[in-house]
């Protein structure tokens, strides 16, 4: 009997991108592409592109000051996730279950499911928006792509999908070129980054929370921690993991800054309100001219498909592993009902919501990122509790200054969400 005929349940860590650190030749160079960088890249998905574009178009440079703050947040969170993965050798879902028990795990997983479900919807909205630029109606594009993603992962390999779309996402570099071509007053950009302006305008608050939610996304650190744990990187390699996490955070946020700057220069004040992807694509006109729509659509499509593939998988694996349910895409439905059910449902729901007639795609994307921003503090509290538990982390718990910063930022995001909810409510009740 051929020995390869065997069950092929693979863990989340093996399924998801896991670039081995090869030690010779070209591979040594490519090995730099660690999980932190991939987490960062995957973070610039439909939600990121849409949110940063709207942020730039609506508020110009005036909210640029939150970018350094979100960078620091992302950096801190990714570093903690990488450190926890390295020291404990376990994923975040595993640790939550081990340490907090069934009830808290259930709560955390419901939060994760809502947050990731929203992102799944956002990415299908991104797919629909990108293809609408080519006049392909979403009723055709979305079900087709959804079925394609489902089938590719189940019948082929996730890695194939990942390689292809990760490379497509590289066209987002056009924003960097574009920002320089557009030639803003860089001094002004610099000043805007360090001069906070506060306002209680609900629409601005919403953009702020959405920007935080899209930059620091729970699934990124679930994914990163699993990858690090899977590589078997130990505490002795913490230096590498830290560098990788910092690189990922700085990379993705630099890109975010360029998107905001370019859309601010080209769209802010022009009276254009971003309602469709085509509006957002105009931002690329200085660098791509008549090809700007093509370029934008390609970037948005690639990033959206990549995230739309990663998120249902990450979510299903995390949930099933923390509850001890059978998981793996090669399992039959009857063998892993919860896993296959969740995986399928996340794709089907993501696609179905986008098909609701008349739904504004950009609006849907923004709301999903906003929801992530609101749910983020919950996951952060779990993380901070775990990373400070010496039973898990030994001597690698957070330093005091790091705790002060991390808890401070968590408090800040919570406060922002509460103020936003309050002001929206007040607005809705007609108090002002």
Partner 1 sequence: MLFLSQLVGRPVRDRDGGAFGKVRDLIVALGEEYPPVTGVVLRVAGGRDIFVPWSDVEQIDATGARLHTSSIDITSFRQRTDEIRLWLNLLDKQIVDVEDRKIVRVNDIQLAPVDGRLRLVAVDVGLAGILRRLGLSGPGERLAKALGIEAENYIQWEDVDPVESSVSSLKLRVPHQALATLHPADVAHIVEQLAPRDRAGILAALDDERAADVFEELDADDQVDLLEALTPERAADILEEMGPDEAADLMADLSDERQEELLGLMQPAEASDVRQLLAYGEETAGGLMTTDYITVRLEETAQEVIDQLRELHPDADHVYYLYVADADGTLVGTITLRGLIVAPPETPVRDFMRPEPISVQLDLDAEQVGAAIARYNLLALPVVDEEGRMRGIVTVDDALERALGEGWRKRLPEVFEPVDER
What one-character-per-residue DSSP string does 296-315 give?
Answer: HHHHHHHHHHHHHHHHHHHH
CB-wise, 276 or 330, nearer to partner 1? 330
Q: How far apart are CA 289 and CA 287, in angstroms?
A: 6
* Contact (Cβ atoms closer than 8 angstroms) between residue 259 and residue 57: no
Question: If 0-12 CB within 10 Å is exposed, 13-18 middle and 19+ buried, where does residue 233 land?
Answer: buried
Question: Can you give the C-alpha Rg of the chain in angstroms?
Answer: 21
End-to-end, the C-alpha distance of the chain in Å comes to 76
Out of 103, 187, 236, 390, point to the residue binding partner 1 (CB under 8 A). 103
Segment lying near partner 1 (by CB under 8 A), choices 87-95, 114-122, 202-210, 359-367: 87-95
The footprint of partner 1 on residues 111-170 (CB under 8 A) is 155-157
The footprint of partner 1 on residues 170-189 (CB under 8 A) is none
Out of 10, 242, 385, 396, point to the residue binding partner 1 (CB under 8 A). 10
Q: Does 88 bind partner 1 (CB under 8 A)?
A: yes
Segment lying near partner 1 (by CB under 8 A), choices 19-27, 41-49, 247-255, 373-381: 19-27
The tokens describing 421, both together, are 């909810």
The footprint of partner 1 on residues 317-356 (CB under 8 A) is 321-324, 326, 330, 332, 337
CB of 38 to partner 1, least distance (A): 16
* Contact (Cβ atoms closer than 8 angstroms) between residue 218 and residue 413: no
Q: Compute how many residues bind partner 1; rule: CB under 8 A.
A: 45
CB of 251 to partner 1, least distance (A): 25
* Contact (Cβ atoms closer than 8 angstroms) between residue 51 and residue 369: yes
CB-wise, 190 or 394, nearer to partner 1? 394
Q: Does 101 bind partner 1 (CB under 8 A)?
A: yes
Q: How far apart are CA 165 and CA 130, in angstroms?
A: 14
CB of 232 to partner 1, least distance (A): 3
CB of 393 to partner 1, least distance (A): 13
Closest C-alpha among 328, 367, 429, 6 to residue 209: 367
CB of 9 to partner 1, least distance (A): 6
The footprint of partner 1 on residues 228-287 (CB under 8 A) is 229-232, 234
Q: Does 24 bind partner 1 (CB under 8 A)?
A: yes
CB of 99 to partner 1, least distance (A): 8
For CA atoms 379, 384, 387, 388, the dihedral sign is negative
Q: How far apart are CA 57 and CA 189, in angstroms?
A: 15
CB-wise, 229 or 311, nearer to partner 1? 229
Could you identify the residue written with the tokens 């005929």? 5
What one-character-per-residue DSSP string does 194-212 give?
Answer: H-------HHHHHHHHHHH
- Taken as a whole, the chain contains a residue count of 432
The footprint of partner 1 on residues 191-230 (CB under 8 A) is 229-230
DSSP element (H, E) containing 245: helix 238-267
Q: Does 32 bind partner 1 (CB under 8 A)?
A: no
* Interacting residues toward partner 1 by CB under 8 A: 1-11, 13-14, 18, 20, 23-24, 88-90, 94, 97-99, 101-103, 105-106, 155-157, 229-232, 234, 321-324, 326, 330, 332, 337
């Amino acid at each position: 009997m051929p020995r390869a005929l065997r069950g092929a349940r693979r863990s989340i860590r093996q399924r998801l991108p896991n670039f081995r650190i090869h030690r010779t030749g070209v591979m040594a160079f490519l090995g730099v592409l660690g999980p932190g960088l991939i987490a960062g890249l995957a973070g610039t998905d439909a939600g990121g592109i849409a949110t940063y574009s709207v942020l730039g178009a609506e508020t110009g440079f005036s909210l640029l000051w939150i970018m350094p703050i979100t960078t620091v947040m992302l950096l801190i969170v990714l570093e903690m996730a990488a450190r926890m993965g390295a020291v404990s050798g376990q994923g975040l879902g595993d640790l939550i279950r081990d340490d907090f028990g069934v009830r808290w795990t259930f709560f955390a997983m419901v939060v994760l499911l809502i947050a990731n479900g929203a992102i799944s919807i956002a990415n299908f909205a991104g797919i629909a928006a990108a293809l609408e630029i080519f006049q392909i109606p979403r009723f055709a594009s979305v079900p087709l792509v959804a079925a394609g993603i489902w089938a590719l992962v189940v019948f082929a390999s996730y890695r194939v999908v990942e390689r292809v779309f990760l490379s497509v996402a590289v066209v987002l570099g056009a924003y960097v070129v574009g920002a320089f071509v557009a030639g803003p007053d860089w001094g002004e950009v610099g000043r805007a980054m360090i001069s906070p302006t506060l306002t209680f305008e609900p629409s601005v608050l919403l953009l702020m929370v959405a920007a935080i939610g899209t930059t620091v996304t729970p699934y990124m650190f679930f994914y990163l921690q699993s990858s690090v744990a899977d590589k078997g990187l130990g505490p002795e390699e913490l230096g590498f993991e830290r560098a990788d996490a910092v690189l990922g955070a700085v990379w993705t946020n630099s890109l975010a800054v360029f998107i905001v700057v370019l859309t601010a220069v080209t769209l802010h004040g022009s009276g254009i309100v971003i309602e469709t992807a085509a509006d957002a694509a105009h931002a690329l006109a200085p660098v791509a001219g008549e090809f700007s729509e093509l370029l934008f659509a390609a970037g948005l499509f690639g990033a959206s498909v990549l995230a739309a593939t990663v998120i249902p998988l990450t979510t299903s694996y995390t949930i099933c592993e923390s509850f001890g349910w059978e998981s793996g895409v090669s399992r039959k439905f009857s063998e892993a009902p919860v896993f296959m059910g969740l995986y399928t449902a996340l794709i089907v729901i993501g696609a179905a919501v986008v098909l609701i007639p008349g739904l504004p795609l950009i609006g849907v994307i923004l709301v999903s990122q906003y929801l992530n921003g609101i749910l983020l503090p919950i996951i952060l509290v779990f993380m901070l509790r775990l990373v400070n538990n010496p039973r898990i982390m030994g001597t690698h718990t957070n330093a005091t200054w790091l705790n002060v910063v991390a808890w401070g930022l968590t408090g800040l995001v919570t406060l922002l969400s509460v103020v936003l909810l309050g002001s929206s409510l007040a607005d809705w009740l007609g108090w002002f």
